[in-house]
Amino acid sequence: MNTERRFLDIPYDEHIVPFPNTASVLMQHAREFPNNPALCFSNHSYTYASLLQQCLHAEISTQNDIVLSMNDTENSILLMLILLVQGIPFHLNFSGSTSVSLSDLQFRKTKNDNIVLPFVRLDDKALILNNLYQFSQYNLLVAAQAVGNAFKLFRPGDAVCALPLSSIADITFGILAPLYFGKTIHFDIKNPANAVLEGNAQYAWTKNIKPNISYHEDISMRDSSIVCLQSEQFLPVKNVYYLIKSFDQAAGLGPVTDNTGKQIFLLGTDIEKPDTDWVIRGHCMGSSIVSG
C-alpha cells in the first residue's frame, strides 16, 4: 500500500474540497452575489463579478518565470488571483520583487455571460514558495477551507486583513480563506481588529497587531473571530485566537489555540506536539524542492 498518498484514511485522489480549482470558487460567488464586494482597497474595490472577469480575461505572458513579492498590495493580490484562476504557476518570494505589473496587462473583451473557465486540475502546480516548497491548487484550497471552517467564515459579515503581507500565513488566513467563503475583505494597516470589536466584521486576521480590547467585555457579532500571531499574554476574550506556530510547508497553517490554550481543529490536518516541537501533516502540505 502506498501510504504516502493517504492521510487520515482519505486517499489524496478523494479530495476533501468540493471545488475543482480556484476559478470555480470565484465563479460560484460571482453567480450567487455578483455585486457583493470581494476586495476593498483604500482607493478601489472589486465585486465578485468584476474580480472574476478580470481574472479570466487578463492576458499574461508565461515565457519567463513570474515572481510575486506582495510588496504592492493591490497589484500583487490581483496578479496572484489571476494566476491562480488561470492555472499559471508562479514564484512567491516575500523578500524579492514582483516581476510583472497589473498595468502592463491586456484584457480580452468578451460578453459577461460568456464565461469559460480555464481547464485547471486540483493537482496542478499553483505556486512555489521561496524556492523551498511547491503547492498545488488542492493544497491551497484545503488550507483555505480549513481556516474558514475553523472560524466560521460561512457566517454573515465581512473580513479584515492586516497589512503588510509578508508571509504565506498572511495569504491563507487573510485572503484565500475569506475569499473561499465569499467574504468581503477590507485591508487595514493599523487596527485590523477594530471592525470586529465594533460589530462591523465577522473575522479579522491581525498578524502581530494585538487588538485593543481594554474597553470591550466581549465581541458582539455572533461567531466572530480575531486571529493573531502567538502572544506572550492571552487576552481575556473568548473570540480571540492565536496562531502559535506557522509552517511554511503547510501554507502557513499550524497550531491555533483559544485564550485557554485549547487547540482549534483545522480540517484536513493533523497537528500535534509529540515532544518539544509541533508537527503538522495533512492535505495542505506542499512538496519540498530539493536543490542540487
**pLDDT for res 108:** 79
Over residues 2-18, the pLDDT tens digits come to 444 444 444 544 457 77
Per residue in 161-208, pLDDT tens? 999 999 999 999 999 999 999 999 999 878 898 888 888 899 999 998
Nine-digit cell at 151? Answer: 472560524
What pLDDT shows up at residue 20?
Answer: 86
For helices 73-86 and 48-57, what crossing angle results, to 10°? 70
Full residue range of the structural domain in which residue 175 is found: 22-58+65-106+123-211+222-234
215 has pLDDT over 60:
no
244 within domain boundaries: no
Residue 232 clears pLDDT 70, i.e. is over it: no
Q: Is residue 73 part of a domain?
A: yes
For the cut 60, the answer to whether the pLDDT of residue 141 exceeds it is yes
**249-280, pLDDT tens digit by residue?**
999 999 999 988 899 999 989 999 988 899 99
Per-residue pLDDT, averaged over 222-242, amounts to 82
pLDDT in tens, 48-105: 999 999 999 999 888 789 999 998 899 999 999 999 999 999 999 999 888 888 888 8
**Domain containing residue 205: CATH number:** 3.40.50.12780
Residue 288 within any structural domain of the chain: no
- Does some domain include residue 283? no
Q: pLDDT tens, 111-126?
A: 655 667 788 998 999 9
> Is position 201 within any domain?
yes
Give the list of residues 6+ apart from residue 127 with CB closer than 8 angstroms, or none: 83, 84, 89, 90, 91, 92, 134, 135, 140
Domain contains 142: yes
Q: Which residue, 52, 59, 115, is CA-closest to 85?
A: 52
Structurally, the chain folds into a number of domains equal to 1
Mean pLDDT within 35-46: 94
**Which position has the higher pLDDT, 16 or 154?**
154
Among 88, 34, 28, CA closest to 64 = 88
Q: 186 lies in a domain?
A: yes
pLDDT value, residue 1: 35
- Report if residue 90 sits inside a domain: yes
Place of cell 480540517: 267
Among 11-15, 30-34, 104-108, name the one with the lowest average pLDDT: 11-15
Burial class (CB in 10 A: 0-12, 13-18, 19+), 106: exposed
Question: Is 292 a residue whose pLDDT tops 70?
Answer: no
